[in-house]
Chain A
Amino acid sequence: MSAAIEVSHLTKRFGARTAVDDVSFTVQAGEIFGFLGPNGAGKSTTVRMLGGLLAPTSGAASVAGVPVTADGGDQVRQRISVMPETPGLYLKLSVAENLDYFARLYEIPDRAARISQALTAVGLAQRANDLCGTLSKGLRQRTALARTLLNDPQVMFLDEPTSGLDPAAAHEVLTLIGALRDRGVTVFLTTHRLDEAERVCDRVAILNTTLRTTGHPDELRQTLFSRTLTVITAARLPDPEAVFDGLPSVTSWQQVPPAQPAPPDGALAGYLLAVQDPVRAAPAVTRALVAAGADVLQIAEQRASLEEVYLQLITGEEKAADRSGKKGALR
């Protein structure tokens, strides 16, 4: 795969304030790349730099194979589309009129057909003549998404596309974004909604002025958190040391309150096992438990959520440890 976006040591300062500091990453063609970070982290500033709206203070970037410079701006803008955080629709114009204006700015030859295709893709073909001011927030987001499809872009920048949407509308928008992958479009998705990043993104980057990390959500979990198995048995093991200490795949273990409530006629027991590879460790642990005569109710890998990864990187280890402690107490 070739790189759709290459960013090298990109920095943007507004006076004394540094919005984006020495950020470097690469996005492959056809990838959905999540750009995560808290408010004020520099996500929108990065998008604006890559879209040729803001000049970087230092560093370099290329988008769709074209360097993002004052000279290359027009070429870049022909190959990309940007959906800012607010849909940016002319509320007194109809959906079709909004799209027609942009189609003319892109000098699209067969405007009517392209507008119709874009509206069909976002499920708005029946609302083409509605004034944008009369549309719900979700429909406005969809209209803005249709606008970004008009020029058949190689790279699409979507800045908080589900911001302010109800769960159903957000789900629809995410489904549309997922469908873009099938069309071979590279999507650069900025968001602070971790659940949606985890759902649609091939890789994510976490930014807080500086780039904290990039990778697949699973890779980030593995890098930042020890891998664990949770075991729940029908009764407390009489000699857990004898069961777990001898297993080579288990590096350490501890008894924890079970996650599920105990039945009236018994007492469940829970164990948390640190392992190197949960897939290989789980069968060995199961065999050892069965050999010890335990009734195994559940063995599962405990996965840190992307939220925990995010918090670990953004607010530091202390906050993540606090969250883990609270979770443990709940179990």
Chain B
Amino acid sequence: MDRKDFRLLRALGRRDFLAVGGGIVSTALLAACDSRGPKSAEKLLRYAERKNLVVERALFRHTVMDVASARAHDAGNKLPSYFISKTLPVWDESVRGKWALAVGGLVGNPMKLTLEDLQKLPRFSYRINHYCVEGWTAIETWTGCRVSDLARLVRAAPEAQFVDFESFDNGYHESWDLESAVHPQTLIAYALDGRMLEPAWGAPARLFGPVKLGYKNTKFLTRVMFLPKANGGFWSDQGYEWYAGV
């Protein structure tokens, strides 16, 4: 350093340098090496999520439908297969008996619906987007019955403002707010692109709705519970946003 540089340091002043230095160091620490951020921030983040929930529910419109671009390609077999069990969960009839979807909770008429029963309910097909939390999307045509029809069939109580969708995939489940669950495009889907659902994508039946991120859409369904309170979910309990609406 020559004398000119020393003069420069003096001109800036020691206090300013400390302030700037402190700012740079703390920002660097904060951003360093893929860190999760300060632990104390966790409370603040939870608070933000609760506030976001209010905004997101206010933004939700029952009448807004997802429309997949007509020019876009269908994902077909490129739709990732995903499950949390060690191996692909397959319903083995010889061991577990015939598959049926249990619908219960705060309902007037709890039921067990076989695949044939589900197929007898009004059938809807939508070519819609799958919005994954990872950032990718995939277009598929899903066929099934509406959760809203299911709710009417079992006479869900007005206090049941939440719906929990459970699976036989190692306990995977995700609970939804009722508004999103009874959205017209939220289906108990049993067919994909015109063919009966295969195990790779959640057979015999799975939840599919474009109004929530992919992880909210439980595959390998076993039980639908109408509840007075939210019941978290596999990914929600680990820190992913519970509402996860798109």
* Chains A and B bind each other: no
Interface residue ranges, B against A (CB under 8 Å)? none
Interface residue ranges, A against B (CB under 8 Å)? none
